[in-house]
Amino acid sequence: MDKPHSIYLDHNATTPLHPEVKKAMTEAMEVFGNPSSYHEAGRQARELVENSRRVIADFIGAKPEEIVFTGSGSEANNAVFNALSSQPSARREIITTSIEHPCVLRAAAHMADLGLPVHFLDVDETGKVYLDQLESLLSDATALVSVMAANNEIGTIQDVGRIARMCHERGALFHTDAVQALGKIPVNVNEIEADYLSFSAHKLYGPKGVGALYIRQGAPFRPLIRGGHQERGRRAGTENTIGIAGFAKVIEMRKAEMAEEVERLTMLKRALWKGIERVIPEATFNGHPTDSLPGTLNVSFTQVRGEAIQLALDLEGIAVSTGSACTSGSLDP
């Protein structure tokens, strides 16, 4: 029988469901109607969905009608790349980075298979994008630039606001994958000036199976999933009312607690790194020293493979990760 994990340190992969979120979802189970139905049960479900949409939109400075619920952050990211099919033919080039989440890298690869030129930005030793390289790649042919707000493995935070402004100066659209950033650092679409911003609930003690995509009013978009008229015709399929209720609840909680939580996690991260450094002086801190997520610590060790450390810790009931959980089978450090 597997030993239960007494210490869970893989919150960038997923988080346990918060009891208050579970309570909100349990209550939402009583609202069983289809949000697209016009009878009372349907109207109750619609009210739940729209109230949740307002809570989430307010948290990132968006309008409720700019929020589209999806089944995951990965779906939201793929939907953005699918939107390129509605772009003018003169703008067909894509720019992204070499350190994006696998769903973005594979969506970009799919676009390349369809014949669209894709350029990959390099990053420095701290994980920061080379902005001069971005400047040289931007052109009148650039359709979309996609740069994650914060990296899921090393925690480096990008200056996505500056990147967005650079893109808009050349007439390109800007997307940021904010799945790891939301609720951990301030995320405001007006300050970032993003055209698209994707995020999800399960990195914040919310439920799995629900994400969202911010689409700036007026930004081109074409549905990835076709069918009914749900989500103002932008994402077909009956809305996951229970998951959406849980999403809104965790956002309400994060709005009230984020500043305190950032301070707590920053202190814990600093203490953990100092402890590792004291015991193992040859350990290397990976990422940016200051522009980094408060709860993410990435460390490498000489002459030891990542999977060996991971398995040894697992036997002691400590859960850690060596890479993105979405990179199936990857155990590289």
The closest alpha carbon to 198, from 100, 286, 278, 300, belongs to: 100
Burial class (CB in 10 A: 0-12, 13-18, 19+), 333: middle
What three-state secondary structure class fits 145? strand
Max CA distance (Å), the chain = 66
Backbone torsion region of residue 49, taken as left when φ is above 0, otherwise alpha when ψ lies between -120 and 50, otherwise beta? alpha
The closest alpha carbon to 127, from 20, 287, 8, 5, belongs to: 287
The closest alpha carbon to 133, from 168, 163, 176, 103, belongs to: 163
User: Catalytic one among 168, 326, 327, 331?
Assistant: 326
Sequence length of the chain is 333
The closest alpha carbon to 36, from 178, 166, 229, belongs to: 229
Report whether 243 contacts 52 (CB < 8 A): no
Residue 103 annotated among the catalytic residues of the structure = no
Q: Where are the alpha helices (DSSP H) in the chain?
A: 19-28, 40-60, 73-82, 102-113, 131-137, 160-169, 189-192, 230-233, 241-279, 306-315
Burial class (CB in 10 A: 0-12, 13-18, 19+), 214: buried
The residues annotated with a catalytic role in the active site are 326
